[in-house]
Structure 1
Amino acid sequence: MDKLSLLLSVKNELLRQSIISQPELSQFETVELTIAQNWISQIENDAPDIAIIEINGFSQADYQALSKLDALLNEMDLILISSGAPNIHLDKLMQFGAIFHYRMPVDTKILAETLRDVRQSSISKSSVGQRVATSDLDQFGLLIGSSYPMHKLYRILRRVAKTDASVFIVGESGAGKELVAQTIHLASERSQAPFIAINCGALSPELIDSELFGHKKGAFTGADKSHEGVFKQAEGGTLFLDEITEMPIEHQVKLLRVLESGEYRRVGGQTLHFTNTRIIAATNRDPQTAIEAQFLREDLYFRLAEFPVVIPPLRDRGEDITGLAKHFIAHQNAEQSVKKTILESALTKIADYDWPGNVRELKHAIERAFILSDDVIKESHLVFDTAPSEQNDQLDDLVPAGVSLNDIEKAAIVNTLDNNDGNKTKTAQDLGISVKTLYNKLDKYEAS
């Protein structure tokens, strides 16, 4: 078989030598560009299978030139190497390019693994586009991180994205399950079709069938017009079922039938519809525990988990923790046109924290610190979520004597729901009850 073509444009001599010394490079027909040659024009002229490009800057003109090569980029793999400084034009590039992005200094062993994976993918003629935004960390799709667990995840996602297999994502709250699902979609051949996400825990049990499959006008009280369900909305693309274990188990069998046969009917309709939609489901529960507790049908799990994916928690990602903190600060600086910095002692505090809320909690902590600080983020600006034991001590002082338990319960539910902007799944998790129990109590409050 002919060797795959590789375009190499790296100005840093030490990095260039390190890359060309990798044994994997012998599997490619490599063309090196001189400093004077324009790499974008060369990509357009040569249409290589893969290109490794060191960029010292990326301008609006560069973005416009590459945006004209949309079709070409989706047929190749582009590896960009940069200082990692925030760049709005690189951010926009994620919308159409086949791109990896590595920051300096580059781990050439990881780069070699990427080359190996690209070659295997290209040999099978199933390679698909990867989209990435600029960052202080390496990136793949919408995911950010340079740690070994994240690069391992990238390789897994690259492989599964080429298929139409159903994916079951398991990860703690705040770990980035929807970003993983979106990355799979963007890296797949369905990337030009819709990506539709639905939180199963936020659905009213009475409207689940309508939300999934749609309904005809007049199908039930209040159905004053027809509605397309998410299966129809995601036709040809990807449907992401977040927190699948929060869907009432009696409704899960209806979902199973669609997955097995590809057929469904709208509520109140007789016409049989056939779906062409890839399904990605996710949960923050352990699947086996969820099955045993009857939060998840076992047959549905095995149908969804053709390809299971586990997201590493932030605490297992080493230097990604402080790297993400710097990333969030850099983007706040770019958005607000300021130049705030962070003390090393503050970074140490961030690194030492366990981050039970994962990346979402870290992002919120940095946003709060950014607001509280002037020019420099210090330890005192970092306010982490209150520990449960501290919350309990505060509650003992705050709850007045003589208030009925029903009133305390109602206040806790209503206030938590309001704090979570109406997200019933998150509210149920915070309160330590099931979503079904939450709905029952809300129904009781509305009836009283």
Structure 2
Amino acid sequence: MARPTLLLKLDDDHLTTQIHALTALENFETTAIERQNNWVEILQERRPDVAIIEVSNFSYDEYQQLTENPLIDTIDLIIISSGAPNKHLDMLMNNGAIFHYRTPIDMTLLEDTLTDFFQFFRQQKEQGRRISSSDLDQFGMLIGSSTPMHQLYRTIRRVAKTDANVLIVGESGSGKELVAQTIHLASERKGQPFIAINCGAISPDLVDSELFGHEKGAFTGANRSHHGVFQQAEGGTLFLDEITEMPIEHQVKLLRVLETGEYRPVGSQATLFTNTRIVAATNRDPQEAIDEDFLREDLYFRLAHFPIHVPPLRDRGEDIVGLAKHFIAHRNANERLAKTILNSAIDKIAAHDWPGNVRELKHSIERAFILADDTIKDEHLIFDTPPLETGTRVEEQIPAGVPLEEIEKAAIINTLEDNQGNKTETAQDLGISVKTLYNKLDKYQDDE
């Protein structure tokens, strides 16, 4: 177990000798700082577990710096003074924020205090933090207290009251569908349906049917009539996820609906009119998607009356740890358990860059929760896909003489299963377009 950190700033040479002679110091990773340095700034920068600070005159500025920063609540801070009256030290004492020792110091008492600190630290490390509630702010379906999230809340609140089409742009796993649901819940349409469809997860042959519906007998296999998502979402909100994965030839039909409000189910002569708000989303940069023919420019302008960017998790600061605690608290409540998490595991979560965003964090926490008995430890947190075997490469796992088509087919089928059938994510993982993926899958089906 790593030792707790201790920061020392001592002015008196005799006192320095006495403290360095304490046996309890062996339990700490101790660092001394120069007397003339701004010790408050160093505390905020280094974030030690314990600090012993000797002051000759504790100023109002130092008091303000400490009390305005939540760091004071996480450090066991011992202030040593001559005992001269100081109202700012008294204010800190009254708030219960510090231990205040006056010279000459009873070294036995200081030894006992440091030993208590260490025992508490060790107990906390062994038992972990009990997580029973979430301390994050919430707006609709979204959770987070960081500045980027509060900016997002304000943006959603403004656009939700209008009927403007919205284009949500954000990385995979950042919570785009939750943003869309929150827009719906904050709108005047909240009492009507919210319908979501992943444009990359439907066959190109069925796009028209999924969007606009079809009549019985409209095509082979159409054994009954089907209401498309426009009709299902009538009066409410239609969320078109991964809009850039819709085949470009179908985007013009969607554009016509947005321009005229009219659509016709497949196989029907009747024209229907829609009263549906459109919220679309993509994990691609819209301009790049237009340049690479994944998105029609005219459709983009129709969808992006009000573009919204969802911040990636790595830009959300302390929300990362806050969300981890939220997911643990949620599982504890659902399963009537009281699992805890080690501080070192929390540090590991905070240090990860989360390329998979909130989805990756949630999956990692849920997996760790299952693996842990009573306490989630560092080894329960698995962020990256494990290697095939230590010291091996992919090419060393494939037997010689296997036809390339079989290797390609296995890679596609296995990746599709790993992504639970999501064709958009599968295509991204394989480095191919969604259209290419559909063509491959159609070929495999024809070969059977």
Kept in 2: contact 1:177–1:282 (CA 8 A): yes
Distance 1:341 1:430 in 2: 34
Residues 102-132 of structure 1 show CA distances to partners (whole Å, capped at 9, x for unaligned) of xxxxxxxxxxxxxxxxxxxxxxxxxxxxxxx
- 1:284 matched to 2:300: no
| Structure 1 residues not aligned, in runs of 5+ | 1-83, 87-134
Q: 1:340 to 1:177 in 2, by over 3 A?
A: same
Separation in structure 2 between the aligned mates of residue 388 and residue 340 of structure 1, nearest angstrom: 29
CA RMSD in angstroms, aligned pairs only? 1.8
Shift in alpha-carbon separation, 1:389–1:419, aligned structure 2, 3 A? closer
What's the CA shift for 1:430? 1.4
- TM-fit CA distance, 1:273: 0.6
Q: Note if contact 1:85-1:136 (Cα within 8 Å) is conserved in structure 2.
A: no
Question: Residue 81 of structure 2 corresponds to which residue in structure 1?
Answer: none
- CA distance in 1 between counterparts of 2:393 and 2:376 reads 28
2:374 is the alignment partner of 1:375: yes
**What TM-score, normalized to structure 1?**
0.69
Is the alpha carbon distance of 1:166 and 1:393 closer, same or farther for their aligned partners in structure 2, counting shifts above 3 Å?
farther
Alignment of structure 1 residues 236-385 onto 2, 5 Å: 236-385=235-384
Q: Please give the alpha-carbon distance, in whole angstroms, between the structure 2 residues aligned to 1:150 and 1:304.
A: 23
Task: Show CA shifts across 1:188-215 (max 9, x none).
Answer: 0000000000000011111110110011
| 1:148-227 aligned within 5 A | 148-227=147-226
Deviation digits for residues 78-106 of structure 1 (CA, Å, limit 9, x no counterpart): xxxxxx954xxxxxxxxxxxxxxxxxxxx
Aligned to 2:200, what secondary structure does the other structure show? helix
Q: 2 CA distance for matches of 1:328 and 1:160? A: 29
Taking a change above 3 Å as real, the CA distance of residues 358 and 169 of structure 1, as seen in their structure-2 partners, is same
Q: Name the aligned partner's letter for residue 351 of structure 1.
A: A
Paired residue for 2:91? none
Q: Are 1:426 and 2:425 an aligned pair?
A: yes
Q: For residues 280 and 171 of structure 2, what CA distance do their matches in structure 1 show?
A: 14
CA distance in 2, matches of 1:330, 1:397: 43
Structure 1 residues 240, 254: closer, same or farther in 2, change over 3 A?
Answer: same
Task: Give the distance between the partners of 2:291 and 2:314, measured in 1 at CA.
Answer: 28
Supply the AA of the counterpart residue of 1:198.
I
Displacement of 1:337 in angstroms is 1.0
Going from structure 1 to structure 2, the CA distance change for 1:430 and 1:392 (only over 3 Å counts) comes to farther
Letter of the 2:354 partner, please give it: W
Q: Secondary structure at the match of 2:348?
A: helix
Length-normalised TM-score, structure 2: 0.69
Give the fraction of aligned pairs with identical amino acids, expressed as a percent.
76
Distance 2:148 2:304 in 1: 21
CA distance in 2, matches of 1:387, 1:258: 46
Offset at residue 390 of structure 1 (A): 9.6
Contact 2:263 2:272 in 1 (8 A): yes
Find the aligned partners of 1:394 and 1:422 in 2 and give their Cα distance: 27
Higher relative contact order (Cα pairs below 8 Å, separated by 6+ residues): 2
Q: CA shift at 1:431, angstroms?
A: 1.1
225-234 or 393-402, which moves further after superposition? 393-402
Relative to structure 1, the CA distance from residue 389 to residue 261 in structure 2 (aligned partners, 3 Å threshold; closer, same or farther) is farther
Q: Per-residue deviation at 1:314?
A: 0.1
DSSP 3-state at the match of 2:224: coil
Kindly indicate whether the alpha-carbon contact (under 8 Å) linking 2:132 and 2:332 is maintained by their aligned counterparts in 1: no
Write out per-residue CA displacement over residues 361-389 of structure 1, whole angstroms, 9 at most, x where no aligned residue.
00000011111111111111110123899
Tell me, yes or no, if the aligned pair for 2:166 and 2:306 is still in contact at 8 Å.
Answer: yes
In structure 2, relative to structure 1, the CA distance for the partners of 1:236 and 1:182 (3 Å cut) is: same
Q: What one-letter code is carried by the residue in structure 1 that aligns with 2:318?
A: E
Q: Which residue of the partner structure matches residue 142 of structure 1?
A: 141
Name 1:415's counterpart in structure 2.
414
CA contact (8 A) 1:201 1:244 kept: yes
Where do residues 36-185 of structure 1 align in structure 2 (5 Å cutoff)?
A: 86=133, 135-185=134-184
Distance in 1 separating the partners of 2:392 and 2:135: 40
Give me the whole-angstrom Cα distance separating, in 2, the residues matched to 1:230 and 1:393.
48
Q: How many residues align?
A: 317
Q: SS at 1:179's partner residue?
A: helix
Q: What amino acid maps onto 1:167 in structure 2?
A: V
Which amino acid in structure 2 is aligned with residue 201 of structure 1? Answer: G
* 1:277 positional shift: 0.1
Whole-Å Cα distance in 1 between the matches of residues 180 and 418 of structure 2? Answer: 26
Q: Structure 1 166/390 Cα, relative in aligned 2: closer, same or farther at 3 Å?
A: farther
- Shift of residue 146, structure 1, vs aligned partner: 0.3
Structure 1 residues 56-95: Cα deviation after superposition (integer angstroms, max 9, x where no partner):
xxxxxxxxxxxxxxxxxxxxxxxxxxxx954xxxxxxxxx
Q: Distance in 1 between matches of 2:306 and 2:276?
A: 16
Letter in 2 for 1:431: L
Give 1:427 shift. 1.2
